[in-house]
Amino acid sequence: MSFFNKIFGKKNKIEVNEKSPTEILNIKFFRNLDLMVDYDISIDSYCDIFETWNEKPLGSEISYVEIHKKIKDIIKNEFNEDICERVKRGSFEKSEIESMIIKLDSDYLLYKPQLDYVKATEEDLLNKFQKGEL
């Protein structure tokens, strides 16, 4: 084997690791479920400790009270046990899968930065509290 083949591998050997739409839906669905549960817990903790229920998270025009209700509704309606089982089994039509993936990606792009902001803000405030700065 030539020196370049050892370093870079054979050019004609291309590994294709494409996932089916059902697999992509499964990954993104449970990624978002984890995100929503984490956000729900984080809002509860952050807002209870620092009494920030009426403040607005980063990039949002609604308060934590409203966001928290919305997150609870999303978990209840979009991630209920029936839908979880259908995602696991792959029981959706192709058009449904494509639509769900688009919505999941959109929701992730909306809520992930908000969750990160809440966690970072909470951590910063807790550090200040521990240092006696609050």
**60-106 pLDDT, tens digit each:** 789 999 999 999 999 999 999 999 999 999 999 999 999 999 999 99
In a domain, 56, yes or no: yes
Domain assignment of residue 52, yes or no: yes
10 in a domain, yes or no?
A: no
**For the residues 54-59, what does the mean pLDDT come to?**
80
State which amino acid sits at residue 124: D
**C-alpha span between 97 and 20 (Å, rounded):** 11
Within a domain: 77: yes
Within a domain: residue 23?
no
Please report whether residue 22 resides in a domain: no
Instruction: Report yes or no on 99 lying in a domain.
Output: yes
Cα gap 101→105, rounded to integer Å: 6
Which of 7-16, 63-72, 114-123 shows the highest mean pLDDT?
63-72
Q: Is the pTM of this model over 0.85?
A: no
pLDDT score recorded for residue 8: 52
pLDDT for res 14? 46
Domain membership of residue 73 (yes or no) is yes
> For residues 108 and 34, what is the distance between their CA atoms, to the nearest angstrom?
11
Write the secondary structure of the chain as one string of H (helix), E (strand) and C (coil): CCHHHHHHCCCCCCCCCCCCHHHHHHHHHHHHHHHHHHHHHHHHHHHHHHCCCCCCCCCCCCCHHHHHHHHHHHHHHHCCHHHHHHHHHCCCCHHHHHHHHHHHHHHHHHHHHHHHHHHHHHHHHHHHHHCCCC
Q: Structural domain tally of the chain? A: 1
Domain span including residue 47: 31-128
